[in-house]
């Protein structure tokens, strides 16, 4: 509690003895700012009627005009819970029982121990403090609910999706009134273009007792479209009731979200294509290495064949020198060798043609590789430009969202 709260406490002291009353007031003044005095029960009741904000009554039982028990009885006719402390020199069982029946807070015997009295007052004040805090919180919650009710669109439905309540804001936007709720369901106010899977996802989440948020399009009684950012949850106090708290949004916001999704999708597609192009270039590079290796091996083989052909030519020259002095037998052998040489020559020419074909293929591969490298470079430049543009668009989107948030506030 604290001194500020105690200063707000108003105590009514009812004591027929002026000396005892003044002493009690003097001692309590150290702790409480407002203390009102009365010397009999009748005056005390009049004061109580005039001061509706009395927080505590400390009263003697035996007094003129109206005793303490009668005062308590009359107070209880108006307030069943007002704290009430009795002070007395003597007592009897019947009085105690009647005081308890009248919900007396405490019962103190004279001479009064100030520390005991302060302790009892402290208990009473704590209850008052908690009660006031509770009332303040209830008012605060009520204000919150009224504030939300003024700006939010709220409707309630049962487990079958039947709508049985709409607040004023939701009725104004949707066009439905209380007498329209019979047969009105969630499916009727959700726009027919919304996929049924989205609606099914809502119910799946709700059946799992999860909080579900959905940003979608609705349709009014007059057939007009409107957009709501809706949060749906199950009522903790009623398992058969779902509460929908929504805020109006615009088609532009939906388009911005769709655009953002498209931008992200384009980035993903661009990255995917870039990876595919990299794989194609890597594969072509591998094939080029294979072709270069093949050309190298083929050149080595061609050199070998050339050396072999040179050796054959030398043998042929040697044979020609020998044939000048040989007979017909030698001519026959020469003919055979000529045929053999012819075969070698044809084989060499065939290999040369193959080499030329392979050389053309290699040149074509080199041209194709050059084109792919140029295409890859162009794609890489295009992706870089698009990334810069996407970054700009994302910044623009963030700024727009902040502006919308400011406007919403």
pLDDT digits (tens, 9 = 90+) for 291-337: 666 666 766 776 777 788 778 778 877 877 777 777 677 777 778 87
Tokens 């200063």 -> residue? 7
In a domain, residue 280? The reply is yes
Confidence class of residue 259 from pLDDT cuts 50, 70 and 90? very low
In a domain, residue 382? The reply is yes
174 shares its domain with 122: no
Using only the alpha carbons of the chain, give its radius of gyration. Answer: 52
Question: In whole numbers, what is the pLDDT of the chain averaged over residues?
Answer: 81
**Exposure of 220 by Cβ count < 10 A (0-12 exposed, 13-18 middle, 19+ buried)?**
middle
Count Cβ atoms below 10 Å from residue 145 Cβ, excluding itself. 12
CA distances (Å), origin 398, targets 260, 262, 371 = 10, 16, 40
292 shares its domain with 400: yes
129 shares its domain with 236: no
Smallest CA-to-CA distance from 84 within 64, 62, 68 is with: 68
Read off the pLDDT of each residue in 261-286 and give the average, rounded to a whole number. 64
102 shares its domain with 167: no
CA distances (Å), origin 325, targets 10, 321, 328, 329, 333 = 154, 8, 10, 11, 13
Count Cβ atoms below 10 Å from residue 229 Cβ, excluding itself. 15
Q: Could you report the per-residue pLDDT of 163-199, keeping only the tens digit for each?
A: 999 988 889 889 999 898 888 988 888 888 888 888 8
The side-by-side arrangement of strands in the sheet containing 106-109 is 34-38, 10-14, 56-60, 84-88, 106-109
143 shares its domain with 284: no
226 shares its domain with 276: no
* CATH number of the domain within which 86 lies: 3.40.50.2300
**Chain centroid to CA 201:** 17
Smallest CA-to-CA distance from 404 within 188, 281, 192, 256 is with: 256
Phi, psi of 227 (to 5 degrees): -110, 135
Give the pLDDT confidence score for residue 262 in this predicted structure.
56
242 shares its domain with 269: no
In a domain, residue 324? The reply is no
**What is the number of structural domains in the chain?**
3
13 shares its domain with 142: yes
Domain that holds residue 169: 152-249
Distance between CA 225 and CA 292 in Å, rounded?
67
């Amino acid at each position: 509690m604290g001194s500020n709260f105690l200063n707000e406490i108003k105590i009514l002291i009812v004591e027929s003895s002026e000396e005892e009353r003044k002493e009690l007031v003097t001692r309590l003044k150290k702790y409480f700012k407002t203390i009102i005095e009365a010397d009999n029960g009748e005056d005390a009741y009049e004061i109580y009627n005039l001061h509706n904000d009395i927080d505590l009554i400390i009263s003697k039982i035996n007094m003129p005009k109206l005793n303490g028990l009668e005062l308590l009885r009359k107070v209880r006719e108006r307030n069943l819970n007002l704290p009430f402390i009795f002070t007395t020199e003597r007592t009897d069982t019947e009085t105690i029982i009647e005081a308890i029946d009248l919900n007396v807070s405490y019962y103190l015997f004279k001479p009064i121990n100030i520390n005991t009295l302060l302790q009892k007052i402290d208990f009473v004040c704590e209850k008052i403090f908690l009660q006031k805090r509770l009332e303040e919180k209830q008012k605060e919650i009520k204000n919150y609910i009224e504030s939300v009710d003024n700006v939010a669109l709220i409707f309630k439905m049962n487990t079958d999706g039947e709508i049985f309540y709409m607040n004023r804001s939701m009725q104004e936007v949707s066009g439905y009134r209380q007498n329209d709720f019979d047969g009105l369901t969630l499916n009727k106010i959700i726009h027919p273009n919304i996929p049924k899977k989205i609606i099914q996802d809502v119910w799946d989440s709700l059946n799992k007792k999860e909080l579900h948020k959905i940003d979608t399009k609705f349709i009014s009684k007059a057939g007009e479209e409107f957009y709501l950012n809706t949060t749906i949850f199950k009522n903790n106090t009623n398992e058969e009731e779902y509460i929908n708290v929504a805020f109006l949004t615009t088609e532009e916001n939906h388009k911005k979200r769709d655009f953002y999704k498209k931008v992200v999708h384009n980035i993903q597609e661009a990255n995917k294509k870039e990876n595919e192009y990299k794989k194609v270039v890597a594969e072509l590079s591998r094939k080029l290495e294979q072709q270069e290796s093949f050309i190298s091996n083929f050149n080595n083989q061609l050199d070998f064949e050339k050396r072999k052909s040179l050796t054959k030519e030398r043998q042929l020259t040697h044979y020609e020198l020998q044939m000048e002095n040989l007979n017909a037998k030698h001519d026959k052998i020469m003919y055979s060798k000529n045929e053999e040489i012819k075969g070698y020559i044809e084989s060499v020419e065939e290999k040369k043609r193959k080499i030329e074909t392979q050389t053309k293929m290699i040149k074509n591969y080199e041209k194709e590789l050059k084109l792919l490298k140029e295409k890859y470079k162009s794609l890489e430049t295009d992706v870089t430009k698009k990334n810069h543009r996407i970054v700009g668009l994302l910044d623009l989107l963030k700024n727009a969202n902040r502006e919308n948030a400011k406007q919403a506030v």
